Amino acid sequence: LSLCFPQKLWRMVESDQFQSIWWSWGGKCVAINEELFKEEVLGRGGPLRVFVRQSMKSFLRQMNLYGFTKMQGDVKRSASLPEFLAEEAAASAHSKILYYYNPLFNREHPHLLEKCKRR
């Protein structure tokens, strides 16, 4: 079963398998620890490969093509403890955290995912 980009992204964010990507701001944004993501997700090969392209530039281009917009990371701290701890751990590791928002990509409204189309 081949999933489209938003579906793959949703499964990754929902999964406990990946430490480099998580829900932020109460499930309204996706937070990505850039360095860990490059290693953990984009560095996978063979049958474990998640995306066809393995560069951060290509991944971010896909984010943009599907309507995600980059947010400033210091706008608002996460309210939930797991989100807060993940952000604190990433910040203490001096990693760059990227935040992306798409109104159709919301943890509380998975049914909107089918409307998330490539531009």
pLDDT tens, residue by residue, 6-64 = 999 999 999 999 999 999 988 999 999 999 999 999 998 888 888 888 899 999 999 99
> Rounded to an integer, what distance in angstroms lies between the CA atom of residue 27 and that of residue 4?
20
> Rounded to an integer, what distance in angstroms lies between the CA atom of residue 58 and that of residue 40?
16
Predicted local confidence at residue 53, as pLDDT: 86
Q: Are 31 and 86 in contact (CB under 8 A)?
A: yes
Predicted local confidence at residue 96, as pLDDT: 85
Predicted local confidence at residue 91, as pLDDT: 64
Domains of the chain: 5-112 (1.10.10.10)
Q: Are 98 and 69 in contact (CB under 8 A)?
A: no
> Rounded to an integer, what distance in angstroms lies between the CA atom of residue 17 and that of residue 31?
15
The better pLDDT of the pair 82, 25 is held by: 25
Predicted local confidence at residue 38, as pLDDT: 95
Q: Does the pLDDT at position 106 exceed 80?
A: yes
Strand (E) positions, 12-117?
21-24, 29-33, 69-71, 97-101
What contacts 35, CB < 8 A, 6 or more positions away? Answer: 95, 96
Residues 56-85, mean pLDDT to the nearest whole number: 81
Predicted local confidence at residue 100, as pLDDT: 96
What is the CB neighbour count within 10 angstroms for residue 95? 16
Sign of CA dihedral 112, 26, 52, 46: negative
